[in-house]
């Protein structure tokens, strides 16, 4: 489709392949229009399948309990390209500025939260949103009660003789926040810590042997 669009609208593109600025007149071939209709139908099917998948996942989550807690997050900000230019520390090459736009569009996390909130509404409940900037679950250590900033590339928390996967640990802390939703309840964390470590290790082993490459990457 892109090749066809460029061929029928050659005057709308610069020599470097980028689109010219200003108001442009676009012409499309009949083959392009046919492909556009097919693409539209494919996106419709994907949207339906995603909705069905989210409804099922929401049911699985609510089967575990009705006290659902999540961090407040602006998904739109994760879709935007970063403005800061950085270099790879290993090879010195400039890092890509794109972030998680495609992943968020494919998985629609905001839709999942909306569905869970709707289903909880039937019970007179709602999704509890933790204040991300105050709680700082990704930086907090409930044993030392200290906050340590980490790079996004750091996926594990070191607890001396063993390591805990960063995302699972954050979920553990969020699940043990106070009722004011702005701090971690250290006593609750201590009470459920041993059971969490046991479940964590079991889950890590399951992910390591998963046929899904993305899941294996999280525990690599």
Residue 123, token pair as written in the block: 């019970």
Task: Return the closest-CA partner of residue 58 out of 71, 68, 72.
Answer: 68
**Nearest of 172, 139, 171 to residue 157 by alpha carbon:** 139
Distance CA(197)–CA(194), nearest Å, equals 5
Model pTM greater than 0.85?
Answer: no
157-173 pLDDT, tens per residue?
888 888 999 999 999 99
Q: Across residues 43-67, what is the average pLDDT? A: 95
pLDDT of residue 48: 96
Q: Residue 61: pLDDT above 90?
A: yes
Q: Which pair of structure tokens corresponds to residue 167? A: 């995302």
- Please give the average per-residue pLDDT across 193-201, as a whole number: 95
| Residue 43 pLDDT | 93
Q: Say what the pLDDT of residue 126 is.
A: 95
DSSP H helices, the chain, are: 2-8, 30-62, 75-79, 101-107, 109-121, 132-135, 166-174, 186-208, 213-218
What average pLDDT score do residues 191-203 get? 95
Percent of the chain with pLDDT over 70: 94
Kindly report the average pLDDT of the chain as a whole number.
89
Region 28-41: what's the mean pLDDT?
96
Whole-number pLDDT of residue 84: 76
User: Cα–Cα distance between 171 and 148 in angstroms, integer?
Assistant: 17
Q: Distance from first CA to last CA of the chain, Å, rounded?
A: 38
Q: What is the DSSP letter of 66?
A: S
The string of pLDDT tens digits covering residues 64-118 is 999 999 988 776 666 666 777 777 777 777 777 666 667 777 888 889 999 999 9
Average pLDDT over residues 140-168: 88
């Amino acid at each position: 489709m892109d090749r066809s669009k460029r061929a029928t609208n050659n005057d709308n593109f610069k020599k470097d392949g980028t689109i010219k600025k200003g108001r442009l007149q676009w012409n499309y071939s009949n083959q392009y229009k046919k492909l556009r209709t097919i693409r539209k139908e494919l996106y419709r099917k994907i949207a339906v399948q995603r909705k069905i998948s989210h409804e099922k996942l929401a049911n699985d989550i609510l089967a575990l309990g009705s006290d659902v807690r999540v961090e407040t997050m602006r998904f739109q900000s994760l879709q935007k390209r970063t403005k800061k230019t950085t270099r790879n520390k290993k090879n010195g090459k400039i890092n890509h500025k794109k972030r998680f736009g495609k992943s968020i569009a494919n998985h629609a996390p905001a839709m999942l939260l909306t569905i869970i909130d709707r289903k909880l509404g039937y019970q007179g409940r709602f999704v509890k949103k933790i204040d991300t900037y105050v709680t700082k679950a990704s930086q907090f250590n409930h044993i030392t009660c200290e906050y340590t900033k980490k790079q996004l590339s750091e996926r594990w928390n070191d607890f001396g003789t063993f390591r805990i996967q960063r995302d699972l640990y954050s979920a553990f802390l969020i699940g043990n926040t106070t009722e004011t939703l702005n701090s971690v309840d250290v006593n609750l964390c201590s009470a459920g810590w041993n059971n969490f470590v046991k479940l964590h290790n079991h889950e890590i082993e399951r992910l390591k042997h998963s046929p899904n490459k993305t899941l294996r990457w999280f525990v690599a």
